[in-house]
Amino acid sequence: MKKQTVLSIAVWLLVCSAAFGKSPESPGPGTALTIYNDDFAVVRESRQLEFDQGVNQTKFTDVASEIDPTSVNFQCLSAPGAVCVLEQNYEYDLVSAESLLKRYIDKNVIVVLKGSGSSNRTYLSGRLLAALGGDLIVKSENNAIEIANMAGVEEVTLKELPDDLVTKPTLVWLVDSKQKGSRLCQVTYTTGKIGWSADYSAQLSPDETALDFAGWVTIDNKSGATYKDARLKLIAGDVRRITKEELPMPMMMRGAAEAGGAPAFEEKAFMEYHLYTLQRSTTINNNQVKQIEFIKPALGVAVKKIYIYEKKERWFYERKQQPDKVQTKIEFENTQANGLGIALPKGKVRVFKKDPADGTLEFVGEDEIDHTATKEKLSLYIGDAFDIVPEYTLLDGQYKSNYSRETHKIELRNRKPEPVTVYVDEKFPQGRNWTIDQATGRYEKRDARTVRFEVKIKADSTETIQYTATQTW
Instruction: Read off the pLDDT of residues 164-178 as tens digits, 9 standing for 90 and up.
Output: 555 678 888 999 999
- The answer to whether position 117 is within a domain reads yes
- The answer to whether position 171 is within a domain reads yes
| Together in a domain, 82 and 173 | yes
| Together in a domain, 127 and 103 | yes
- The answer to whether position 459 is within a domain reads yes
| Together in a domain, 39 and 151 | no
Among 157, 174, 204, the domain-final residue is 157
Residue 429 pairs in a beta bridge with none
| Together in a domain, 393 and 456 | yes
| Together in a domain, 14 and 80 | yes
| Together in a domain, 416 and 464 | yes
Of 84-98, 151-165, 447-461, the poorest mean pLDDT is in 151-165
Predicted pLDDT at 210: 96
CATH code, domain with 445: 2.60.40.290
Predicted pLDDT at 110: 84
Work out the average pLDDT over 346-355.
94
| Together in a domain, 8 and 153 | no
CATH code, domain with 130: 2.30.30.520
Rank 84-93, 169-178, 245-254, 298-307 by mean pLDDT and report only the highest.
298-307
- The answer to whether position 255 is within a domain reads no
Residue 21 has pLDDT above 70, yes or no: no
pLDDT digits (tens, 9 = 90+) for 384-432: 999 999 999 999 999 998 999 999 999 999 999 999 999 999 999 888 9
- The answer to whether position 317 is within a domain reads no
Range of the structural domain that residue 413 is part of: 386-472
| Together in a domain, 40 and 147 | no
| Together in a domain, 405 and 468 | yes
Confidence of residue 114 (pLDDT cuts 50, 70, 90): confident
Residue 195 has pLDDT above 90, yes or no: yes
Work out the average pLDDT over 329-336.
96
| Together in a domain, 90 and 101 | no
| Together in a domain, 12 and 152 | no
- The answer to whether position 414 is within a domain reads yes
Predicted pLDDT at 96: 59
Predicted pLDDT at 158: 74
Residue % of the chain over a pLDDT of 70: 83
Residue 133 has pLDDT above 80, yes or no: no
Predicted pLDDT at 274: 83
- The answer to whether position 236 is within a domain reads no
Residue 262 has pLDDT above 50, yes or no: yes
Structural domain total, the chain: 3
Mean pLDDT, all residues of the chain: 83
| Together in a domain, 8 and 142 | no
Residue 191 has pLDDT above 90, yes or no: yes
Predicted pLDDT at 331: 97
